[in-house]
Amino acid sequence: MLSQKAEEILELLWVTTQEESDQPMELKNKKYSPDTPEIKELLKLGFVKYDGKNLTLQGEGLKEAESVVRRHRLAERLMADVLDIQENLLEKNACQFEHLIREEVEENVCTLLGHPRECPHGKPIPIGSCCKRNAYEAKSVVLMLCELSPGDRGRVAYLRTGNSQRLQKLLTLGILPGVEVEMLQRFPSFVFRIGHSQMAVDREMAEGIHVRLKGEKRR
């Protein structure tokens, strides 16, 4: 397994050489030298090559680097959407978190989040194998209630309103994690069935209710 530092170098390399430009990265501009243990580690694995001036990704290294970036951005998404961590703390936490997420966990996190395309800062999240699979079979995905189409069913996964009063309103109406919901109508207000009753809410309220879909999402 790669060391944390090595993963960070891969991430940096991928972002600078693949995403932001296609120029190679000159090692002397960075704080690393060919003798740093992490770079040695990467060279040994054949993930990167060094021509005396530039450090470039190659072969497996390219894939591995992409995966680190993906995990980092998924971690940010997870913290922003589910754990409700403030933006200024995102970066620091995500950096530590990405190293903890391994492949299987990564897919679960990605699925839970509904295969997001972008990190909270608007940068693209590299596509994983679970996202590709999702394009064929819609697995249980967590969506906001306002994204459901009439006929979609599922269970409430979590509530996230960003406003304590609104949260309380949802709670008192019996809209709680685990409760079954079915979307009935989207316009002019969102109408859904919950248990044996029907509720009408506006978009703001519907955005706070996150539903784990059952079966395929209708179009």
Binding site residues, other proteins, CB under 8 A? 83-84, 159, 164-174, 176-179, 184-185, 187-189, 191, 193, 195-202, 204-205
Pick between residue 4 and residue 179 the one whose CB is nearest to other proteins: 179
Pick between residue 89 and residue 105 the one whose CB is nearest to other proteins: 89
Pick between residue 196 and residue 219 the one whose CB is nearest to other proteins: 196
Sign of the Cα pseudo-torsion (108, 109, 112, 118, in order): negative
The whole-angstrom separation of Cα 206 and Cα 74 is 24
Rg over alpha carbons for the chain, rounded to the nearest Å, is 21
CB of 184 to other proteins, least distance (A): 7
Instruction: Check: CB of residue 56 under 8 Å from CB of residue 42.
Output: no
Closest CA to 84 of 185, 3, 177, 158: 158
Residue 55's CB: how many other CB atoms inside 10 A? 24
Pick between residue 105 and residue 179 the one whose CB is nearest to other proteins: 179
Closest CA to 209 of 134, 148, 140, 133: 148
CB of 169 to other proteins, least distance (A): 6
CB of 116 to other proteins, least distance (A): 20
Pick between residue 125 and residue 145 the one whose CB is nearest to other proteins: 145
CB of 148 to other proteins, least distance (A): 16
CB of 115 to other proteins, least distance (A): 24
The whole-angstrom separation of Cα 114 and Cα 144 is 10
Instruction: Check: CB of residue 71 under 8 Å from CB of residue 94.
Output: no
